């Protein structure tokens, strides 16, 4: 367990069980603390903690502002028949894709959707679509004196110095208001829209965790769907849902090693990933025409990640030099993550004819994966998806940090830290060189261990799991 993971474990021990409106304060805000700790200075002083809180608590502020500017919400409907409830937290493409693939397995009479962010509401398809902002009560207030005393007492027993800071106590007091508002909102949600099973793609995030805890109080079954590769101590653990739907045996092992009971883990595959054999995609020439690039040249794909720009920029520089050293006529296809803007990358690339920048929406990822000759990645499931297309994978690690995903450690990908490393890796795996056969066999083993099923086959197993949970809880 890494340093932050150790702090989180102690946080759970020290502050777990402090309830705010019936919801565990520490559990609800665990992921927010993880983000705060990543700043390394987030809890250094009350003023800095307050500034960090401003970024973390933007959703609650937005909800209050919108409620003030709108007319009173309409009267909530009388409770109807229970349905499966799918909860979308945030606009993360992997979360969104996982839940939409699952939603497609249910009719509007069987399921409804609740969201933390209105912009993630699904298109009008007949499903009940509920925005949590409409359920957050106005004027949430709380006497914090007793809570402050409880936190102070727990802090005296905390074994990690950062958890004993007054600034952390102030942060938790402020977060208690957000937790109280969410608790009341979810009570309203479940009262007005009874549910048989709660489905989330994260029970570690604030809204997903609160949704799961309230469901547990009411005896509603819950299942969390894996939406990305297993990495980081705060990404998927501790699991509070009744079941965790894992992509493959590798994910199941990862969870068991971190104390998740085996009975909670069901291996069903990845419903949001597509089977290349059954997924229509554009011909390379058609894709090249749409992107205005030469189809006769070799293409190497680099997909950026929602990490610090400096790291993405470092990968880009090594990728440009390495691809050029490998083949002066090859093209580096730079696919931006949906959360990123192109201006900063264009400033780096300039007029380089060897780089093609592809913004989000300009070309589907799977069309690109089917067309390129190799995939460069760091800390992303794009590497796994590239393996689905039998593409050589290179784990690009130019900033002195090992890829937290095990592509390179398990031999499924070459590891490149410099441009020379990258040129050698491409020469070996794309040409192919002597090691290409062994690398391909390692990719096949990695896929088998990490992906039980994909696409419709996986989605059908997810539906069966949800239906089974619903039957277990039916009186």
Does residue 279 or residue 126 have the better pLDDT?
Answer: 279
SS3 199: strand
Q: What is the pLDDT of residues 4-58, one digit of tens each?
A: 778 888 999 999 999 888 899 998 988 888 877 776 544 545 455 455 444 444 4
Q: What is the pLDDT of residues 342-376, one digit of tens each?
A: 888 999 888 889 999 998 878 888 999 999 999 99
pLDDT at 66 over 60: no
Does residue 118 or residue 34 have the better pLDDT?
Answer: 34
Return the pLDDT at 453: 93
Q: How confident is the model at residue 90 (pLDDT cuts 50, 70, 90)?
A: low
Cα–Cα distance measured from residue 128 to residue 66, given in angstroms and rounded to the nearest whole number: 21
Return the pLDDT at 126: 58
**8 Å CB contact between 372 and 284:** no
In this structure, which CATH number among 3.40.190.290, 3.40.50.2000, 3.40.50.300, 3.40.50.150 belongs to the domain 3-273+455-473?
3.40.50.2000
Q: How confident is the model at residue 61 (pLDDT cuts 50, 70, 90)?
A: very low
Q: What is the pLDDT of residues 196-226, one digit of tens each?
A: 999 998 888 888 889 999 999 999 999 999 9
Cα–Cα distance measured from residue 259 to residue 262, given in angstroms and rounded to the nearest whole number: 9
| Average pLDDT along the chain | 83
CA dihedral 379, 415, 406, 298 (to 10 degrees): 70
Percentage of the chain modeled with pLDDT above 90: 39
What DSSP letter does each residue of 345-380 carry, written as one string? HHHHHTT-TTEEEE-TTTS-HHHHHHH-SEEEESSS
Domain limits, the chain? 3-273+455-473, 277-450
Equal fold, 3-273+455-473 vs 277-450: yes
Does residue 161 or residue 248 have the better pLDDT?
Answer: 248
Percentage of the chain modeled with pLDDT above 70: 83
Q: What is the pLDDT of residues 382-405, one digit of tens each?
A: 999 999 999 999 999 888 888 888
In the CATH hierarchy, which fold is given to the domain comprising 277-450?
A: Rossmann fold (3.40.50)
**8 Å CB contact between 201 and 224:** yes
pLDDT at 187 over 60: yes
List residues bridging with 115 in a β-sheet. 88, 131
Return the pLDDT at 55: 42
**8 Å CB contact between 15 and 172:** yes
Tokens representing 205 are: 């995030």
Return the pLDDT at 1: 44
Return the pLDDT at 432: 64
Q: What is the pLDDT of residues 406-460, one digit of tens each?
A: 999 999 999 999 999 999 999 988 866 666 688 889 999 999 999 999 989 999 9
pLDDT at 307 over 50: yes
Return the pLDDT at 435: 66
What DSSP letter does each residue of 255-297 carry, written as one string? HHHTT--GGGEEE--BTTS--GGG-----HHHHHHHHT--TTS
Return the pLDDT at 325: 95
């Amino acid at each position: 367990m890494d340093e932050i993971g150790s702090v989180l474990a102690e946080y759970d021990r020290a502050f777990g069980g402090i309830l705010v409106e019936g919801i565990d304060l520490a559990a609800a805000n665990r992921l927010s603390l993880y983000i705060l700790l990543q700043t390394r200075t987030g809890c250094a002083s009350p003023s800095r903690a307050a500034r960090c809180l401003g970024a973390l608590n933007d959703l609650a502020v937005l909800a209050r502002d919108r409620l003030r500017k709108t007319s009173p919400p309409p009267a909530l409907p009388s409770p109807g028949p229970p349905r499966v409830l799918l909860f979308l937290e945030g606009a993360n493409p992997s979360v969104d894709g996982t839940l939409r693939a699952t939603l497609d397995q249910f009719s509007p009479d069987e399921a409804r959707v609740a969201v933390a962010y209105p912009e993630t509401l699904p298109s009008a398809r007949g499903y009940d679509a509920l925005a949590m902002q409409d359920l957050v009560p106005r004027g949430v207030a709380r006497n914090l004196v007793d809570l402050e005393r409880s936190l102070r007492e727990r802090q005296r027993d905390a074994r990690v110095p950062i958890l004993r800071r007054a600034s952390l106590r102030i942060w938790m007091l402020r977060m208690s208001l957000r937790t109280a508002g969410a608790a009341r909102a979810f009570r309203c949600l479940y009262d007005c829209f009874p549910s048989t099973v709660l489905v989330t793609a994260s029970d570690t995030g604030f809204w997903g965790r609160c949704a799961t805890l309230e469901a547990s109080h009411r005896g509603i079954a819950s299942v969390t769907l894996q939406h990305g590769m297993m990495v980081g101590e705060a990404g998927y653990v501790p699991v509070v849902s009744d079941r965790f739907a894992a992509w493959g045996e590798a994910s199941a092992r990862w969870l068991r090693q971190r104390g998740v009971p085996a009975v909670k883990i069901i291996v069903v595959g990845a419903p949001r990933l597509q089977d290349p054999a059954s997924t229509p995609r554009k011909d390379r020439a058609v894709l090249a025409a749409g992107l205005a690039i030469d189809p006769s040249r070799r293409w190497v794909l680099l997909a950026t990640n929602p990490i610090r720009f400096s790291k993405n920029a470092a990968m880009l520089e090594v990728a440009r030099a390495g691809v050029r050293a490998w083949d002066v006529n090859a093209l580096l296809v730079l696919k931006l993550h949906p959360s990123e803007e192109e201006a900063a990358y264009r400033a780096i690339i300039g007029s380089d004819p060897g780089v093609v920048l592809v913004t989000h929406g300009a070309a589907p990822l799977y069309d690109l994966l089917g067309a390129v000759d190799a995939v460069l990645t760091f800390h992303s499931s794009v590497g796994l998806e590239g393996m689905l297309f039998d593409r050589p994978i290179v784990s690009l690690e130019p900033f002195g940090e090992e890829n937290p995903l095990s592509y390179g450690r398990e031999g499924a990908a070459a590891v490149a830290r410099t441009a020379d490393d990258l040129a050698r890796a491409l020469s070996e795996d794309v040409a192919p060189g002597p090691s290409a056969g062994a690398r391909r066999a390692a990719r096949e083993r990695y896929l088998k261990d990490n992906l039980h099923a994909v696409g419709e086959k996986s989605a059908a197993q997810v539906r069966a799991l949800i239906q089974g949970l619903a039957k277990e809880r039916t009186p």
